[in-house]
Amino acid sequence: MNEKELKTLSKFLSLILRHRPEVINITLDENGWADVDALMKGMNRTRHVPITIDNIKEVVATNDKQRFAFNDDCSKIRANQGHSVSVDVELEEVQPPAVLYHGTSAKSMQGIMANGIQSKNRLYVHLSDDTETAGNVGKRHGNPIILCIDSDKMYKEGFKFYVSANGVWLTKVVPAVYILQK
């Protein structure tokens, strides 16, 4: 597959494995896993070019954000984070670094400073441990703003943090009191 085809397939996998498995008439188990054979069968009903296991393995291996993971025998696949459907991707609570970052846009700042960072339609707020990643996320929404999060204080005050298999830091909400504009 060429780069454009891989990107298209990655976006479609994100839609199915994070948000709308019903589009191809599959279900995710309670931990977000989808049967790879059912996934390919469902995807191939909606596409003109057949998808193979090798195509899916290539997306998993080359996705720049490492959004997907296989189980040990590659019979199941899931998204590492970013779900809007209710699944438990079996994350363990961990103590975060003292500071985490969130990339957003100028147009979102008023709402964030009033209400904090909300997960909205996702299960968690996504944070990063470096400003470069946060800046790249913010660029997707317009002129990027990087917010500095006092994650150490949040953790000490009882907020739970998790880190996904691809290194994204997750928490349910970031109240505005813990946010400093960088």
The answer on 171 and 114 residing in a single domain is yes
> ∠ CA(146), CA(109), CA(144), 5° rounding?
35
CA angle 14, 77, 44 (to 5 degrees): 65
**Would residue 95 count as lying in a domain?**
no
Q: Report d(CA 53, CA 76) in Å as an integer.
A: 11
Residues 75 and 105 in one domain: no
Distance of CA 27 to the CA centre of its chain: 19
Predicted pLDDT of residue 181: 58
What pTM value is reported for the model?
Answer: 0.76
Q: Give the lowest-confidence range in 15-24, 76-85, 134-143.
A: 134-143
Residue 86 lies in a domain: no
Any idea how long the chain is?
Answer: 182
Rounded CA-CA distance 56/36 in Å is 9
Range of the domain at 75: 3-79
Helix (H) or strand (E) holding 149: strand 144-149
pLDDT value at residue 74: 95
Query: Distance (Å, rounded) from C-alpha 88 to C-alpha 59?
Result: 23
Q: Is residue 24 part of a domain?
A: yes
Q: How many domains, in total, are found in the chain?
A: 2
Decide if 94 is inside a domain: no
On whether residue 84 sits in a domain, the answer given is: no
| Tens digit of each residue's pLDDT (9 = 90 or more) over 77-112 | 999 888 889 888 888 899 999 999 999 988 889 999
CATH of the domain at 176: 3.20.170.30
- What CATH number is attached to the domain comprising 55? 1.10.10.970
Lowest mean pLDDT among 78-87, 95-104, 152-161, 169-178: 78-87
User: How high is the pLDDT of residue 1?
Assistant: 83
